[in-house]
Amino acid sequence: MHFKWISSLLVLLVGLAYAGDQTKLLQSGIDQEYFDITVRAQDDFFRYVNGTWLKETKIPQDKSNYGAFIALADQAKKDLRRIIEEAAASGTTAGSEAQKIGDFYLSFMDTSLIRQRGLQPLQPLLSQINSIKNRSHVIQLMVELRKIGVQRPFTYWISQDSKNSDAYITYITQSGLGLPDRDYYFKEDEKFATIRERYKEYITTILNLGHVASAEQKALRIFDMERNFAHHHWTRVENRDPHKTYNKFTIHQLDSLAPYFMWNDFIEYADIPQAKEVVVRQPDYLQALDSIFSARSLDDWKAYFTYKTLHGAAILLSKSFVQARFDFYGKTLSGTEQMEPRWKRAVNAVNGNLGKVVGKVYVKKHFKPQAKESMVELVENLLAAYEQRIKNLQWMSAETRSKALTKLSKFNYKIGYPDKWKDYSQLVVKKDELIENYERASRFYYKRNVQKLGQPIDLDEWFMNPQTVNAYYNPRLNEIVFPAAILQPPFFNLAADDAVNYGAIGAVIGHEITHGFDDQGRKYDGNGNLNNWWTEGDIERFTQRAEGLVEQYSQYSPVDTMHLDGEFTLGENIADLGGLTIAYHAYKRSLNGQQPAVIEGFTGDQRFFIGWAQVWRRKYRPDEMRKRVLTDPHSPSEYRVIGVVTNMPAFHKAFNLNEGDKLYKDEQELVKIW
């Protein structure tokens, strides 16, 4: 990676925006029709930019929330539908990628055959569960369910070793809950008490539909087991700490930690005989699970596994199963009014199981090479701006600064789609075997995952599909990744003014870079290894500054009397603030000292902040908001806007904030990290 300042981006975008007519005004990229000018920007910037949209937009009946991200994802879904249905109608060669795409979709769409087959595709597994005769069989079932993607009390996978990023290792983590979070099992207010009762009813319904005897009594025992697991689950705040969740054990040491669990049997069943060490993310949970494992009767385990199997397959079974699952997980938990149409769910099925295969076609049809070229320049501009910010940080010591710059110099980035596509020739898909298609796909990915042990690190691997409207930072590879689908308006507009692009996709790029330096990402060095490379004084100064964000966001109450957990959302809040700050400085540098034109009545700085605010327009149903407050490390969209801009001096200046304005902060109150 070479950090050079590239000034051609402005020329490129201006050239595209003028489109050959030098007399035309540059397109701003601002959606002024969504503004609410009765709201002062200085008091509520989120509603100033998005207020009319918020008033006039109804959340679609098949959505729990709706906004710019969801609108783009819906468009991607429509694009994928055309690709998939063309493949389904093409009569392609058996075993080809087009055949797999088309037949997977057709297997989901054939409701008549699904109804006719009933529970028959699940019978071999249900019979295996009913034939459990000892604890070793219970372990065997846990592994079998892992291989086919059915939930169990703990899960495991192979990934890079956080303290030796050149090697793969097995990770073990808590699981097993049917409700979104441990808190759902214990919160005492009426809303959560009602959810618990509805969940017991849902378990009963699923067991009855599966023709399981004594369904109501078994449902109570299953719920009690889950509540038992939940009691020992670590909180989401605890699970964010990569040091606390890195606990390496040999297989022999696992025998001491959880002596009733037959670890040698587990290693054999899991097809990982070469696993000599594992990382246990929550050791005391595994210790508690060991006691539950031995204390619970075999009948309890049979009931639990039977329910998890039926629940896991519910979306693939008859209408009664599908409706029952939606009524609880869609309506009760998220407030969604109706199911997505079947074609959307079928596209989800293809996406979830053959995402890279259909993604290969998607990028050919819907991703412009110019977008990738411009993103490369934007990313390097943001990295260059970050380099300058680190060099000029007054609170950071020279020792830590040097190592931070080294880490930044080792950042890698991936844009649009993988350079190398995986081979899917061994995956069998049949148009009359929906459940079997899911099982075969899950086994295919399981085998690919466990085969990583002992192999070199796959530096080309992507953990999102190209058609995903999102982005991510991977600390072990020290890389930022931007799938193709997010690189379009309102995030990235090749025809728009630079200011809006820097405020939108520029801030997204900055957000992902900042994850390498947030409260947890900063703990990984430039090689992707978890170690303490900061001085104690720098850690103290960083923590003190970050605490300002914890306090600020903990004051926000988006629904009922529920407040955000500033500790839980800290990493994303740091990334938002750092990302927008770095994007702003990159934008200013791109101007090369020139004053940007006023466009549609807005200065360049004003357009920059508007670009940030309009990508976060989103509405939530109350039940969905409650769930997100407990489970989502990202703050709700409103606070991703106002929580950040209120800390930025450039925003204060751009919109002339003064004491008494609701978003105003004194200079000494501003949270400044990166």
For CA atoms 595, 601, 606, 612, the dihedral sign is negative
- Copy the structure tokens of residue 69: 């991200």
What strands, in cross-sheet order, belong to the sheet with 277-280?
154-161, 164-174, 277-280, 248-250
Dihedral angle over CA of 254, 258, 263, 266, nearest 10: -120
Instruction: Could you list the beta-strand ranges (E) of 42-161.
Output: 65-67, 154-161
Q: CA-CA distance, 428 to 99, in Å (whole number)?
A: 10
Q: φ, ψ for residue 182 (rounded to 5)?
A: -55, -35
Helix (H, G, I), strand (E, B), or coil: what is residue 220?
helix
- Copy the structure tokens of residue 13: 């975008």
> How many other β-carbons are positioned within 10 Å of the β-carbon of residue 376?
15
Q: CA-CA distance, 564 to 630, in Å (whole number)?
A: 8
Residue 184 has pLDDT above 60, yes or no: yes
pLDDT at position 26: 54
pLDDT at position 25: 41
Find the DSSP H helices in 233-262. 236-239, 251-257
627 and 519 in contact (C-beta within 8 Å)? no
In angstroms, the Cα distances linking 129 to 114, 309, 314, 591 are: 23, 10, 17, 66
Residue 475 has pLDDT above 80, yes or no: yes
Q: CA-CA distance, 418 to 356, in Å (whole number)?
A: 9
Q: CA-CA distance, 652 to 650, in Å (whole number)?
A: 5
pLDDT at position 495: 86
Q: φ, ψ for residue 588 (rounded to 5)?
A: -65, -40
Q: φ, ψ for residue 42 (rounded to 5)?
A: -75, -15
Residue 176 has pLDDT above 50, yes or no: yes
Q: How confident is the model at residue 19 (pLDDT cuts 50, 70, 90)?
A: very low
Q: How confident is the model at residue 118 (pLDDT cuts 50, 70, 90)?
A: very high
Q: How confident is the model at residue 477 (pLDDT cuts 50, 70, 90)?
A: very high
Residue 616 has pLDDT above 50, yes or no: yes
Q: CA-CA distance, 483 to 470, in Å (whole number)?
A: 7
56 and 31 in contact (C-beta within 8 Å)? no
pLDDT at position 10: 29
Q: CA-CA distance, 42 to 642, in Å (whole number)?
A: 10
- What domains, with CATH codes, occur in the chain? 31-60+371-418+462-669 (3.40.390.10), 134-316 (1.10.1380.10)
Q: φ, ψ for residue 180 (rounded to 5)?
A: -65, -25
Which of residues 369 and 310 earns the better pLDDT score?
Answer: 310
| Conformation bin of residue 519: beta by default, left when phi > 0, alpha when psi is -120 to 50 | alpha
Mean pLDDT of the residues in the chain: 94
Q: How confident is the model at residue 11 (pLDDT cuts 50, 70, 90)?
A: very low
Q: Residues 99-122: what's their mean pLDDT?
A: 98
Helix (H, G, I), strand (E, B), or coil: what is residue 165?
strand
In angstroms, the Cα distances linking 221 to 202, 539, 644 are: 13, 47, 46
Could you report the per-residue pLDDT of 291-339, keeping only the tens digit for each?
A: 999 999 999 999 999 999 999 999 999 999 999 999 999 999 999 999 9
Q: CA-CA distance, 514 to 674, in Å (whole number)?
A: 8
pLDDT at position 330: 98
Q: Residues 548-568: what's their mean pLDDT?
A: 97
pLDDT at position 8: 29
H or E element that contains 480: strand 479-483
Percentage above 70 pLDDT, the chain: 96
Which has the closest alpha carbon to 644: 583, 542, 585, 574? 574
pLDDT at position 27: 77
Which of residues 528 and 25 earns the better pLDDT score?
Answer: 528
Q: How confident is the model at residue 494 (pLDDT cuts 50, 70, 90)?
A: confident
Could you report the per-residue pLDDT of 435-474, keeping only the tens digit for each?
A: 999 999 999 999 999 999 999 999 999 999 999 999 999 9
